[in-house]
Chains A and B, each alone.
Chain A
């Protein structure tokens, strides 16, 4: 496996990119402005694209260059653009009614990262891979997953929820680049396109939400209970 015998430089590059992506997830959690979210998401996607390319370079997977280019194009440019258009149409700038203040979310997120850390440490130990990039990748993957769920839970704006879902996906994608760089190209491509379809669907749904339900916040959707 690539991750187990890696040059120190490559390992620290990977870890830097992974941790920086995690940090950007926290920027999203800790900010109230929707455009900040969007910027952080775009940047995160670019980092993941760079990571893909780096994995391709060090692991000799030429097809990953294609993935990197497509990631940068789709996740780094097209998706943020689509979301930006939604934001403009919605005429909302910021999250007004979060259930948990950003600073508290940061602390909760930090606790989640620690949980992810414990789980991945356990996984790494069982495979005798402690102290390699694998554990770090698992940690970042699980943490971004948990942070995405945190965003889905505490944020009400439709856009925040979409971005929460995208953070979930980004986490998986990032982890899979390091853990299983040899994943068949077709699967990765299809997942990329799938994401595009998801966002398109959400765009339509948000329009319905505003037109027929008169709100852009999912927290006001509370009629169906029991």
Chain B
């Protein structure tokens, strides 16, 4: 029991500590692919360190929301790892608090508060960012729900662990069209949700920015929390994608220290595989105009539908 609690804490800590590293790797590879040197893979850590040591400047118009939004967002990202398989392939204490849908809900809560914070200070950029983020959310949400429905139909359960066990145990299910289409649909969602091309919005160019616009008013430690939260969100989505859908192998089965440590390394290797695919897409794709954002999402929606249709064959 104690070991399980320790493992559960370990899951959260893994997410907390490795998230910036993943971001660093992706950023560096993107530059490398384009024949540039790129920042070091530890650059995100240095950024966070820097922000934590800066002073916070708070707008005069800001209310309480401005203060609690980063903290709640950060807390949400600390909560979700409890629910999903990060290191072990069996449920740990408190992981029965919620299923995949519950995890999605908590992720959305964080995003919701950041939207509010963007509106809170009354600056035009924050308004733009929040409205765009909500628009994107409206487009992505039905697809996300459909992917969950597909997963549920596949495993007859909504718990991530059950899906993981099913895919490991039955290669036929793993290679079934239903599952492959779900993987493809989720991959597109992953690109959208983690701010990659063809949507990529982490810039300070006004016509594109979404996330950056929402948090434009933040500085110092609060900014660090928000950035960290967004890296953790990326890490969590990667985790769901790999451990639940794409590569369900390589998790600790017995919960030993060695196994957990190995799982952490394996996890990171799996992420690198996904990151490689993401980098490939980013290199091959160009950015879409804002009014064409629905196209990749429509494709993803469609793949989810096809997955559900293909699912009947069992």
Contacts and interface: CB of A to CB of B under 8 A. Distances in A.
Given A12-B177, A102-B295, A131 B314 contact: yes
Per DSSP, chain B at the interface is helix
Interface stretch (B83-91, B218-226, B304-312): B304-312
Contact of B313 (A22, A107, A133): A133
A9 to B, nearest CB: 8
A22 B303 CA distance: 10
A113 to B, nearest CB: 6
Interface in B260-297: 292, 294-295, 297
A71 interface: no
Nearest to A26: B302
Given A15-B177, A103-B295, A107-B298, A113 B312 contact: no
A11 B282 CA distance: 36
Nearest to A107: B298
A121 interface: yes
A107 B143 CA distance: 11
A139 interface: yes
A193 to B, nearest CB: 32
A139 B306 CA distance: 10
Contact of B302 (A20, A106, A121, A130): A106
B138 interface: no
Contacts of A110: 301-302, 305
B312 A22 contact: no
Interface in A34-51: none
A72 B313 CA distance: 27
Contacts of A171: none
A94 B298 CA distance: 20
Contacts of B308: 117
A180 interface: no
B177 A16 contact: yes
Interface residues of A, number: 30
Given A12-B175, A19-B181, A23-B306, A103 B298 contact: yes
A103 B302 CA distance: 10
Nearest to A143: B309
Q: Is the interface of A mostly helix, strand, loop or mixed?
A: helix
Interface residues of B, number: 22
Given A12-B175, A110-B305, A113-B305, A30 B298 contact: yes
Contacts of B305: 110, 113-114
A150 interface: no
Given A19-B181, A110-B302, A113-B306, A11 B313 contact: yes
B145 interface: no
B280 to A, nearest CB: 20
A19 B306 contact: yes
A132 B313 contact: yes
A104 interface: yes
A30 B299 contact: yes
A83 interface: no
A103 B172 contact: no
Contacts of B295: 30, 102-103, 106
Of B176, B292, B299, B314, the most chain A CB neighbours within 10 A belong to: B299
A131 B176 CA distance: 14
B312 A107 contact: no
A8 interface: yes
A12 B313 contact: yes
A131 B314 CA distance: 5
A135 interface: yes
Contacts of B301: 106-107, 110
Nearest to B176: A12
A12 B175 CA distance: 9
Nearest to B307: A19
Max chain A Cβ within 10 angstroms of own Cβ: one of B305, B308, B313: B313
A136 interface: yes
Contacts of B306: 19, 22-23, 26, 113
A109 interface: yes
Interface string A117-152: 100010000000011110110010001000000000
Interface of A: 8, 11-12, 15-16, 19-20, 22-23, 26, 30, 102-104, 106-107, 109-110, 113-114, 117, 121, 130-133, 135-136, 139, 143
14 contacts: A12-B175, A15-B176, A19-B306, A19-B310, A22-B306, A26-B299, A102-B295, A114-B305, A121-B312, A130-B312, A131-B314, A133-B313, A136-B310, A139-B312
In the A-B complex, the 8 residue pairs with the smallest Cβ-Cβ separation, listed nearest first, are: A103-B298, A106-B298, A110-B305, A103-B295, A19-B177, A103-B294, A110-B302, A19-B310
Given A19-B181, A103-B295, A131-B313, 20 more contacts: A12-B172, A12-B176, A15-B310, A19-B177, A19-B306, A22-B306, A102-B298, A103-B292, A103-B299, A104-B298, A106-B295, A106-B298, A107-B298, A113-B306, A117-B308, A117-B309, A121-B312, A130-B312, A131-B312, A131-B314
